[in-house]
């Protein structure tokens, strides 16, 4: 009874699979042959179901048992592109002996035991031979992934064949459960997916789909049962249940697929998660270095990669430089690779795919093309890469990422997709960082332009005075009338204004000089600040200067720069207090969450920063003094930020406090 039901169900499902293969728009030859194979399986089960009804069905059942291996061999020949001599012999032998046994079926021998044994052996030999074809093809394949997929297909197929053959045992008087039917349908389903996608699928993909289908079959059946119980009719519940299933299909399928991914393929799930994490890192990063670091750490965390390199176009000379890596095997620099870059413009390049293509070209006798690809394979292998993924910007390849897993060799299609997505996110982030840098550069240029306007103004004032004085002195009328000491006054004005001009230009140059990349040795700030304050104290004897210098850490800055900063701030303070009052200079270690730092402050008892310039205080040419240049704080700000520090001001009617934070290190850490 169970066996009969199973036969009927297996027959129906095989027929549906056959239909699904041919109903596609313009089916390929492999799809058509698959359909023939599936129809044959279906016939085999249907005739089995009806074989009790009349002897004709029993005969047909035996006949379809003979054509089944034939259809299998024919399908696998095309599906596996196996067209070598042994397969041709196999096919011919199957055909010859098949026809012979078929002929026996119409003779009186058909009812005897002999023909059953003949058919049993025939099926055994050729079904097993078909599976052997799969195994042989797997052994030949240079790709690990393909090999694995072919092997599990052969495994399911082998099991299905064995159990199908066991179903003949009833003919010999032995009863077994109908596992063959279930396995054979599963096998057909796996094949139909592979045929449909024109590629082999991972076991997890097949299992995932089967699980989803089972889930829906059960859900539909459950809904149907419930509805029938409550409504009594049959049509309405069926329609409602179908609607429910259709509506829920998409969302539930996605859910189930997600869950299955985590269950079945932990490795892939880890890769999935690290791609997701990296995306978040990218979105917060503005510096190319940060993005590349996040990319490399995502690759590392994926646990799927043992060697990797991130390459970007070398701005200095043609070629690419490595800007990030896992391990040291990816070369530090590579020359121009026109062929690879051309391919990368179209997407990821896999060494496996190149090698498969080489084999195919060789088989077809296209040696020139094969040799060309061979060279490419050598290049890619030289990069220690199983896969290269393009870093693109504005449709152009600006670099690439290479990756290899020494343990597992190739990557599956899913993994390639995920890695490609990861690198794509990184490309977008790099693009954004470049745009940001451009913007900052534009800001700098705009500030320079503004400064030039300010500078012109600063220069025009003293020039006016100089011109007036010079005109006065050169006018013969004036010269005769003016006493000598008065003429000296005019000369003093000229010298004074020239000095001022000199000062303005020197300050401007200080400001306009792009922050130098000079490597500064870490220094102790205390002696530098002490010396600077001694100088200020001598200039302004009426100002009391208190020093609270307790920093033990060192900061990386040139001593003369720190002196310049200290003098600027101290002189401003003194001027704000009209030359008399109290100035406190302090330095101390500070532990913030992110780093070790040193804070240096200048606190005066002056009137505080005038409100109208509070927001633009550190900009160039911002001043409230007649003879001020407005460059002092701008330069100070620039010097502090150039070494990675920051400067802030607090101001109240009781005085202003300038606080600077510098990155620092402990002297014992060196
Ligand atoms: P300058 O000293 O040539 O004016 P700065 O950039 O050094 O240029 O200072 C800009 C302005 O900031 C000063 O003109 C002054 O108004 C204000 N300022 C600077 N330091 C102080 C301070 N310690 N107290 C009050 N105001 C100050």
Residues 68-100: tens digit of each pLDDT:
888 988 888 888 777 778 888 888 888 888 888
User: Does 636 sit in the ligand 1 pocket, CB within 6 Å?
Assistant: no
pLDDT of residue 219: 78
Domain boundaries, the chain: 2-198, 202-264, 268-434, 438-512, 522-669
Mean pLDDT, range 591-603, rounded to an integer? 85
pLDDT per position as a tens digit, 15-31: 988 988 888 767 778 88
CATH 3.30.450.40 fits 268-434, yes or no: yes
Angle of the 113-140 helix axis to the 144-166 helix axis, nearest 10 = 170
454 lines ligand 1 (CB under 6 A): no
Asked if 39 and 77 touch (Cβ cutoff 8 Å), the reply is: no
Q: Is 656 in the pocket of ligand 1 (CB under 6 A)?
A: yes
Kindly report the protein residue whose alpha carbon is nearest to atom 10 of ligand 1: 623
424 vs 484, higher pLDDT = 424
Per-residue pLDDT, 321: 92
By C-alpha distance, which of 154, 188, 168 is closest to 41? 188
**Answer CATH for 2-198 from 1.20.1070, 1.25.40, 3.30.70, 1.10.287:** 1.20.1070
**Amino acid 264: pLDDT:** 54
Looking at residue 315, its pLDDT comes to: 84
How many residues are given for the chain? 670
Give the Cα separation of 18 and 22 in Å (integer): 7
Reading the block at residue 516, the tokens are 């130098």
Nearest Cα residue to atom 27 of ligand 1: 609
Taking the CA of residue 635 as reference, the ligand 1 atom at the shortest distance is 6
Cβ of 622 less than 6 Å from ligand 1: yes
Please, which pLDDT band fits residue 204 given cuts at 50, 70 and 90?
low
Confidence band of 530 (pLDDT split at 50, 70, 90): very high
Cα-to-chain-centroid distance, residue 336: 24
Categorize the per-residue pLDDT at 516 as very low, low, confident or very high, splitting at 50, 70 and 90.
low
- Tokens representing 185 are 């349908």
**pLDDT surpassing 70 at residue 236:** yes
Question: Which ranges of 232-350 would DSSP assign to H, the alpha helix?
Answer: 235-264, 266-284, 288-301, 338-344
Of ligand 1's listed atoms, the one at least distance from the Cα of 573 is 23
Share of the chain above pLDDT 70, in %: 88
Cβ–ligand 1 contact at 601 (below 6 Å): no
State pTM to two decimals.
0.44
Q: Give me ligand 1 centre to Cα 291, in Å.
A: 39
Contacts of 572-576 spanning 24+ positions with Cβ under 8 A: 572/632, 572/633, 573/602, 573/604, 573/606, 573/656, 574/536, 574/539, 574/540, 574/543, 574/604, 575/625, 576/604, 576/606, 576/607, 576/656
Q: Is pLDDT at 514 greater than 60 in this prediction?
A: no
Of ligand 1's atoms, which has the minimum distance to the CA of residue 623?
A: 14
Can you give the pLDDT at residue 39? 94
pLDDT for residue 103: 85
- Structure tokens given for 638: 């620039």
pLDDT at 217 over 90: no
If pLDDT is split at 50, 70 and 90, which confidence band does 569 have?
very high
pLDDT of residue 589: 92
- Give the CA angle between residues 181, 186, 187 to the nearest 5°: 95
Out of 14-18, 173-177, 184-188, 630-634, least confident range: 173-177
Distance 650 CA to ligand 1 centre (A): 13
Lowest-confidence segment of 19-28, 188-197, 258-267 by average pLDDT = 258-267
Q: State the pLDDT confidence band at 574, using cuts at 50, 70 and 90.
A: very high
Determine the Cα–Cα distance for residues 444 and 514; give it in Å rounded to an integer.
10
- CB of residue 389 inside a 6 A radius of ligand 1: no
Provide the sign of the torsion angle of the four alpha carbons 520, 524, 530, 533, taken in this order.
Answer: positive
Q: Residue range 493-516: average pLDDT?
A: 76
Instruction: Answer whether 628 contacts ligand 1 (Cβ < 6 A).
Output: yes
> 248: buried, middle or exposed (CB in 10 Å: 19+, 13-18, 0-12)?
middle
Whose alpha carbon is nearest atom 18 of ligand 1?
609
Residue 599 scores a pLDDT above 90: yes
Q: Decide which of 3.40.50.300, 3.40.30.10, 3.30.565.10, 2.40.110.10 is the CATH code for 522-669.
A: 3.30.565.10
Distance 42 CA to ligand 1 centre (A): 94
Using the predicted structure, report yes or no on whether residue 209 has a pLDDT greater than 80.
no
Write out pLDDT tens, residues 44-61.
Answer: 888 888 877 888 888 888
Two structure tokens written together for 401: 């990422």
Determine the residue of 565, 629, 633 to mutate for testing ligand 1's pocket, defined as the one with the most ligand atoms within 8 A of the Cβ atom: 633
Query: Separation of 669 CA from ligand 1 center, angstroms?
Result: 38
The residue to mutate among 572, 617, 634, 651, having the most atoms of ligand 1 within 8 angstroms of its beta carbon, is 572
CB of 624 shorter than 6 A to ligand 1: yes
pLDDT in tens, 463-481: 888 888 888 888 877 777 7
What is the average per-residue pLDDT within 139-152? 69
Instruction: Provide the CATH topology of domain 438-512.
Output: Helix Hairpins (1.10.287)
Distance of CA 401 to the CA centre of its chain: 10
Q: Return d(Cα 49, Cα 47) in angstroms, integer.
A: 5
The per-residue pLDDT of the chain, averaged, comes to 82
Residue 390: per-residue pLDDT = 94
CA distances from 73 to 31, 148, 538, 539 (A): 14, 21, 104, 104
> What's the rounded Cα separation, in Å, for the pair 574 and 565?
14
Closest ligand 1 atom to Cα of 658 = 23
Tell me how far apart the terminal alpha carbons of the chain are, to the nearest angstrom.
Answer: 85
In b/e form, how buried is each residue of 376-407, taking b as 16+ CB within 10 angstroms? bbebbeebbbbbbbbbbeeeebbbbbbbbbee
Q: Which of 356, 371, 363 is nearest to 410 (CA)?
A: 356
What's the CA-to-centroid distance between 8 and ligand 1, angstroms? Answer: 95
- Residue 234 pLDDT > 60, yes or no? yes
pLDDT, position 220: 77
Please state the rounded mean pLDDT for residues 226-236: 74
Report pLDDT for 330. 87
619 lines ligand 1 (CB under 6 A): no
The vertex-644 CA angle with 642 and 649, nearest 5°, equals: 90
Residue with tokens 């000491």: 485
In the predicted model, is pLDDT for residue 258 greater than 70? Answer: no
Residue nearest to atom 22 of ligand 1 (CA): 573
Model confidence at 460: pLDDT above 70? yes
């Amino acid at each position: 009874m169970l066996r009969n039901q199973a036969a009927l169900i297996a027959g129906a499902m095989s027929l549906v699979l056959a239909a699904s293969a041919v109903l596609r728009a313009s089916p390929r030859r492999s799809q058509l042959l698959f359909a023939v194979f599936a129809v044959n399986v279906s016939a085999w089960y249907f005739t089995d179901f009806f074989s009790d009804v009349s002897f004709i069905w029993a005969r047909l059942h035996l006949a379809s048992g003979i054509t089944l291996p034939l259809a299998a061999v024919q399908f696998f020949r095309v599906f596996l592109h196996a067209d070598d001599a042994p397969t041709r012999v196999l096919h011919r032998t199957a055909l010859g002996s098949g026809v012979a046994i078929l002929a026996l079926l119409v003779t009186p021998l058909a009812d005897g035991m002999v023909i059953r044994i003949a058919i049993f052996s025939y099926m055994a030999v050729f079904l097993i031979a078909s599976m052997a074809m799969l195994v042989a093809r797997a052994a030949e394949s240079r790709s690990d992934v393909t090999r694995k997929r072919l092997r599990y297909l052969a495994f399911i197929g082998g099991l299905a064949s064995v159990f199908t053959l066991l179903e003949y045992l009833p003919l010999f008087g032995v009863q077994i459960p109908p596992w063959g039917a279930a396995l054979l349908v599963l096998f057909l389903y796996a094949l139909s997916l592979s045929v449909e996608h024109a590629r082999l699928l991972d076991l997890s993909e097949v299992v995932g789909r089967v699980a989803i289908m089972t889930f829906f079959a059960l859900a539909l059946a459950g809904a149907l049962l419930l509805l029938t119980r409550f409504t009594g009719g049959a049509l309405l519940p069926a329609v409602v249940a179908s609607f429910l299933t259709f509506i829920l299909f998409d969302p539930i399928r996605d859910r189930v697929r997600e869950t299955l991914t985590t269950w079945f393929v932990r490795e892939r799930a880890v890769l999935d998660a690290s791609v997701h994490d990296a995306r978040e890192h990218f979105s917060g990063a503005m510096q190319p270095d940060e993005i590349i670091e996040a990319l490399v750490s995502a690759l590392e965390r994926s646990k799927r990669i043992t060697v990797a390199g991130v390459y970007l176009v070398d701005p200095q000379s043609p070629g690419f430089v490595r800007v990030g890596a896992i391990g040291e095997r990816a070369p530090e620099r590579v020359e121009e690779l026109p062929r690879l870059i051309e391919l990368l413009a179209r997407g990821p390049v896999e060494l496996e795919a190149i090698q498969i293509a080489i084999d195919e070209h060789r088989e077809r006798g296209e040696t020139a093309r094969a040799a060309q690809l061979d060279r490419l394979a050598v290049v890619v292998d030289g990069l220690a890469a199983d896969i290269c993924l393009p870093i693109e910007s504005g449709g152009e390849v600006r670099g690439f990422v290479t990756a290899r897993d020494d343990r597992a060799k190739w990557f599956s299609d899913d993994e390639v997709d995920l890695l490609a997505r990861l690198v794509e996110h990184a490309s977008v982030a790099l693009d954004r960082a470049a745009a940001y840098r451009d913007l900052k550069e534009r800001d700098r240029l705009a500030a320079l332009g503004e400064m030039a306007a300010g500078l012109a103004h600063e220069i025009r004032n003293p020039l006016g005075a100089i011109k007036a004085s010079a005109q006065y002195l050169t006018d013969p009328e004036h010269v005769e009338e003016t006493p000598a000491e008065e003429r000296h006054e005019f000369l003093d004005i000229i010298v004074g204004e020239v000095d001022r001009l000199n000062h303005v230009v020197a300050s401007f140059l200080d400001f306009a000089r792009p922050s130098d990349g000079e490597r500064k040795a870490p220094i102790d700030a205390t002696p530098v600040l002490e010396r600077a304050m001694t100088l200020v104290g001598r200039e302004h004897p009426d100002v009391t200067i208190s020093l609270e210098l307790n920093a033990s850490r060192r900061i990386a800055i040139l001593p003369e720069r720190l002196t310049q900063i200290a003098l600027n701030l101290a002189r401003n303070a003194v001027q704000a207090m009209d030359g008399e009052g109290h100035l406190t200079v302090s330095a101390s270690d500070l532990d913030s969450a992110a780093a070790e730092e040193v804070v240096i402050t200048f606190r005066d008892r002056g009137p505080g920063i005038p409100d109208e310039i509070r927001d633009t205080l550190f900009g160039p040419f911002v001043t409230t003094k007649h003879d001020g240049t407005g460059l002092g704080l701008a330069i100070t700000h620039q010097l502090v930020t150039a070494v990675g520090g920051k400067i802030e001001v607090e101001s109240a009617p009781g005085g202003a406090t300038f606080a600077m934070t510098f990155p620092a290190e402990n002297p014992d850490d060196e």
